């Protein structure tokens, strides 16, 4: 995953850009969770990366998730909480796709 992809999606150091993919994700996530965006969810995870201005150490790469990384830890936790699989539209799959 590149820093540019995160920025292009609308996640930046100054917040989520109006009218962007990021704002759409935030709106959809808030509606589906009853009005809030949860810490550790796709929107907050990507915004944290956008605010830092760097995705390099996270472990989400063009060739997959790096072993032993923050991304692999997230994927493992998410899979355990969903009975062994990483759900489509979950944090790991959303962040990896961007």
How do beta strands 15-16 and 64-65 pair? unpaired
Can you give the pTM of this predicted structure?
0.67
Question: Which regions of 9-92 does DSSP assign to beta strands (E)?
Answer: 11-12, 15-16, 60-61, 64-65
Write down the pLDDT at residue 18.
Answer: 94
How do beta strands 15-16 and 60-61 pair? unpaired
CA angle at 91 for the pair 40 and 3, rounded to the nearest 5°:
90
Q: What is the pLDDT tens value at each position of the chain, 98 positions in all?
A: 567 788 888 988 899 999 999 999 899 888 888 888 888 778 888 888 888 877 667 787 878 888 888 888 888 888 887 788 887 877 778 878 77
Write down the pLDDT at residue 16.
Answer: 93
Question: Does residue 76 contact residue 51 with C-beta atoms inside 8 Å?
Answer: no
């Amino acid at each position: 995953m590149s820093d540019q992809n995160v920025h292009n999606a609308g996640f930046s150091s100054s917040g989520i850009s109006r009218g962007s993919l990021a704002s759409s994700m935030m709106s959809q996530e808030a509606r589906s969770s009853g009005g809030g965006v949860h810490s550790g969810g796709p929107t907050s995870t990507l915004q944290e990366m956008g605010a830092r201005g760097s995705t390099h150490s996270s472990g989400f790469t063009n060739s997959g998730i790096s072993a032993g990384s923050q991304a692999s830890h997230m994927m493992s936790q998410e899979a355990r909480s969903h009975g062994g699989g990483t759900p489509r539209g979950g944090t790991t799959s959303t962040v990896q796709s961007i």
